[in-house]
Amino acid sequence: MLAANTGRTWRLLGVNTVGTIMAIAVVTALIAPRTTLAILILLVMLLYASVASVDVGHASRHMPPIVAAASIFAAYVLLSGIWAATPRTTVYIAAIGIVTLLVSWAATVGLALLSHERCQKLANAILIGLTIGLVFLMMEEFSDDWIKLLFLNNLPFVQRNPKHMVLRDAEILNLASYLNNRSIALASFLMWPALGMLAALRPGGVPWIWRGAAASAIVGLAMVTIVKSQHETSALAVALGAIVFLAARFRQRLGVALVGLGWLVAVTLVVPLANFAYDELRLQRSEHLPYSARARVVIWKYTASQVSNSPLIGVGAGATERLDNNRASYEIAIGDPVALRTMRHAHNIYLQVWYELGVIGAALLLLLGASAIGAATRLRPSAQPYALASFATLAVMGATSWSLWQEWFMSAFALTGICCWLVDRMVPENDPQSIDLKTDMVASTSLSSAAAVQ
């Protein structure tokens, strides 16, 4: 009896320790999104430290279509280093992508091996970490980064970069508002699977009214923080994600159709749409758009015009910045906010792939997205709306923001997918519709209001 109790105590300690570490890791990722890849690796280590001794080889015997599609895409990215202007950069990009892919696959296998009870505890830890992270981000947005400034000004080894901060001698007075954009984007990604985790918590363990209140709190925190921030793309991405969520919640096929059609249009028509926005709509001169949006229209136009120079294979992954810097001069059209140039990247992952990887890369990107949508439709019905909304949010974020090759961006995509898989694992196998309808309705009402605000 004593031995049994001692063993049980150690097992509980292990679960609590894993949960604490995971909660801290999520907070860290939200505060410093560039650590997301490290958080992914830590997640895998925690998962395999938590599972019983089983046949891992048997559990991972079949390669999911999305892993196969991502592997082919990564292989082509690596191959493009042969003709890229910056082969070392291309190899580095491919290496990071492959590491992210392997870690993600290992995480999905680890979740498949994890017991239902431990999935619930892992979800609780993620939810706690997300809530703390959202509170921190909201405080920073409303206090003009008071906590970060206090921290940075008391560390003498912190580099002072006038590009990103306002300085008075060695004192940092203000930080650029866009420095929080990565954190806001990651919070937007994780909001959907977090709501799914709340809805899928064991019905007997947490009354639906508390889960509904928690869902409303997370939505409220996220919306207030996103609206207060300077990242309009996150607001747009969450709003469109909410539309997909509601469609998939009440008409599952409609949600899938919306996401599939949106992905098809984004990948296949991005080049003519970029030309149309500049030549016909003249959005680069619209007084109703913020400066950053008008500047992107110019960047998209020029990048789209360069696709025809190497339409089949592109210029090579990661070569955009080098080719842009090698130009002798830049033309500035009268009335445009910026010069006609690609800048460091296209600020649009679809245009970026067309320019750097050509029609072959675009076809592989289309296949990768279709595989991800297919993976979402193979989840249990209760988990599908959250996965589809996550995909929509990611797809919109990629249309106007960072380079696809940034390490944290690729890792954020992977982390969001893993969290959606966790939602599916939390739903009992014998009851695929076990998510409480009342809880889902609370989330649906909250998200409808959020979409209306946007």
Q: What are 53-93's pLDDT values in tens digits?
A: 554 555 555 568 899 999 999 999 999 999 999 999 999 99
The per-residue pLDDT for range 254-282, each reduced to its tens digit, is 999 999 999 999 999 999 999 999 999 99
The per-residue pLDDT for range 167-213, each reduced to its tens digit, is 667 777 777 777 889 999 999 999 999 999 998 887 555 666 777 78
For the segment 294-323, the average pLDDT, to the nearest whole number, is: 95
* Residues paired with residue 175 on neighbouring β-strands, in sequence order: 165
For the segment 230-241, the average pLDDT, to the nearest whole number, is: 91
The per-residue pLDDT for range 34-50, each reduced to its tens digit, is 999 999 999 888 888 77
The per-residue pLDDT for range 400-424, each reduced to its tens digit, is 989 999 999 999 999 999 999 999 9
Length of the chain: 454
The predicted structure's pLDDT at residue 376: 94
Confidence grade of residue 318 (pLDDT, cut at 50, 70, 90): very high
The predicted structure's pLDDT at residue 320: 94
Is residue 11 scored above 60 in pLDDT? no
Neighbours of 167 (CB within 10 A): 12
The predicted structure's pLDDT at residue 158: 67
The predicted structure's pLDDT at residue 210: 74
* b/e per residue 340-349 (b: at least 16 CB within 10 A): bbbbebbbbb
The per-residue pLDDT for range 332-388, each reduced to its tens digit, is 888 889 999 999 899 999 999 999 999 999 999 999 999 999 999 999 999 999 999
